[in-house]
């Protein structure tokens, strides 16, 4: 039994590789350094060579609000190509189980909270990342289509906002969690009296450590089999302002925190309903405070 993890050096992919390795599975991890998934022919060749029994698709072009808003063509086109090439090649290679990682941005901007899986495609998307969201919706639909046409036991999961080791801390491309860690650490090093952050700080977000995500992926691979996607989250949220205060405290930044309200906030609130996953016997094991501390320590050591 061989498990292929695409996007193996990224935030989610690296955690998934670590978890499958920890439980003694034979894992083959690939990244853009090994294979350009935009190259359709090369993708088919690799899947035919590896012949995995399972594929975990954690490969994607990702970024924060600024990047998504500035480069919608790349986020839509490249992600559709990546996931389509990988699924088509997996079908040709007779892969038994395929796990597609969606994103919580697939849900409508003004969704009822907490967000249930059935709310998918029930309203307009958040405009700042709608191109990326549409690509992920297409991936979820392609999984459904492969199940319908070929009878595959392929599934889609929808993770909430993730954080942890191997996150992208590039301020032009990072998500809010990693960006805050870098900004506060640099502000402390430079002995700044204040830090100004993007938006109002009022939006509410849910966060999950990637090691918890990886455990949930293993559980879903073994126990979930439905054409409907399944949410993976912590089930609780907080404001970006509260998150910033927690990270500043862990880092030891004692200056003031300001907000640039001319910058976009994104979706007002986003917390997932995780009842379907909880019913499988899963719950997160890493608290937010513990996760912030370990991620800050990882960043200081590795960056």
CATH number at residue 129: 3.40.50.720
pLDDT tens per residue across span 149-194: 999 999 999 999 999 999 999 887 778 999 999 999 999 999 999 9
Per the structure, the count of domains in the chain is 1
Within a domain: 182? no
Alpha-carbon gap, residue 197 to 205, rounded angstroms: 16
The C-alpha R_g of the chain, in whole angstroms, comes to 19
Residue 250: CB partners within 8 Å, gap ≥ 6? 289, 292, 293, 296
Q: Tens of pLDDT along 31-81?
A: 999 999 999 999 999 999 999 999 999 999 887 777 788 899 999 999 999
| Residue 28, in any domain of the structure | yes
Contact 88, 246 (CB under 8 A): no
Four-residue CA torsion sign, 236, 277, 84, 122: negative
> What contacts 66, CB < 8 A, 6 or more positions away?
172, 198
Concatenating the DSSP letter of every residue in 122-160 gives SSPPPGGGHHHHHHHHHHHHHHHHHHHHH----EEEEE-
Burial class (CB in 10 A: 0-12, 13-18, 19+), 240: buried
Average pLDDT score over the chain: 96
- pLDDT in the model for residue 173: 74
The values of phi and psi at residue 261, to 5°, are -75, -5
- In a domain, residue 262? The reply is no
- Through-space distance between the first and last CA atoms of the chain, rounded to whole angstroms: 35
Residue 121 lies in a domain: yes
pLDDT for residue 37: 98
Q: Is the dihedral of CA 255, 261, 264, 266 positive or negative?
A: positive
pLDDT tens-digit series, residues 79-129: 999 999 999 999 999 999 999 999 999 999 999 999 999 999 999 999 988
Q: Is residue 191 part of a domain?
A: no
CA–CA separation, 33 and 282 (whole Å): 34
Peptide bond into 114 cis (omega under 30): yes
269 vs 202: CA distance, rounded Å? 9
pLDDT at residue 58, as a whole number: 98
Q: Is 6 exposed, middle or buried (0-12, 13-18, 19+ CB in 10 A)?
A: buried
- Judged by phi (left if over 0) then psi (alpha if -120 to 50, else beta), residue 80 lies in alpha
Per-residue pLDDT, averaged over 134-160, amounts to 98
Residue 253 lies in a domain: no
Q: Catalytic: 132?
A: yes
pLDDT in tens, 196-209: 999 999 999 999 99
Contact 29, 10 (CB under 8 A): no
Catalytic residue among 107, 119, 132, 146: 132
pLDDT number for residue 265:
87
Q: Is residue 51 part of a domain?
A: yes
Q: CA 104, CA 84: separation in Å to the nearest integer?
A: 20
219 pLDDT above the threshold of 90: yes
* Pairwise CA distance, residues 285 & 187, whole Å: 31
Say how far apart CA 262 and CA 192 lie, in whole Å.
Answer: 22
- Show the domain range for 137: 2-165+206-236+270-286
Residue 258 lies in a domain: no
| DSSP annotation string for 71-88 | -HHHHHHHHHHHHHHHHH
Q: How far apart are CA 205 and CA 272, in angstroms?
A: 10
Q: Could you give the angle at which helices 240-251 and 176-189 cross, rounded to 10 degrees?
A: 40
Q: Which residues pair with 272 in a beta bridge?
A: 115
């Amino acid at each position: 039994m061989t498990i292929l993890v695409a996007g193996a050096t990224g935030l989610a992919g690296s955690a998934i590789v670590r978890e499958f390795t920890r439980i003694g599975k034979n894992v083959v991890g690939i990244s853009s350094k090994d294979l350009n998934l935009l190259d359709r022919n090369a993708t088919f060749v690799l899947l035919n060579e590896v012949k995995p029994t399972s594929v975990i698709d954690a490969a994607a072009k990702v970024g924060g609000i600024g990047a998504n808003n500035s480069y919608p063509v790349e986020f839509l086109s490249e992600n559709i190509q990546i996931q389509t090439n990988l699924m088509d090649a997996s079908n040709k290679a007779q892969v038994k189980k395929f796990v597609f990682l969606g994103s919580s941005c697939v849900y409508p901007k003004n969704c009822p909270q907490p967000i249930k899986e059935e709310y998918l495609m029930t309203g307009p998307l958040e405009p700042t990342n709608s191109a990326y969201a549409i690509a992920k919706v297409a991936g979820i639909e392609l999984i459904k289509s492969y199940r319908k046409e070929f009878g595959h036991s392929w599934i889609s999961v929808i993770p909430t906002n993730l954080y942890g080791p191997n996150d992208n801390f590039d301020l032009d491309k990072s998500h809010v969690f990693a960006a805050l860690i870098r900004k506060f650490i640099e502000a402390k090093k430079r002995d700044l009296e204040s830090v100004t952050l993007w938006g109002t700080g009022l939006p509410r977000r849910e966060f999950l450590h990637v090691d918890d995500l990886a455990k949930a992926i293993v559980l879903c691979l073994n126990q979930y089999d439905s054409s409907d996607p399944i949410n993976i989250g912590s089930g609780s949220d907080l404001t970006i302002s509260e998150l910033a205060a927690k990270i500043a405290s862990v880092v030891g930044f004692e200056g003031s925190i300001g907000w640039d309200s001319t910058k976009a906030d994104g979706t007002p609130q986003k917390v997932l309903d995780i009842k379907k996953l909880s019913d499988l016997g899963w719950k997160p094991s890493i608290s937010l405070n513990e996760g912030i501390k370990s991620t800050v320590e990882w960043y200081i050591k590795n960056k």
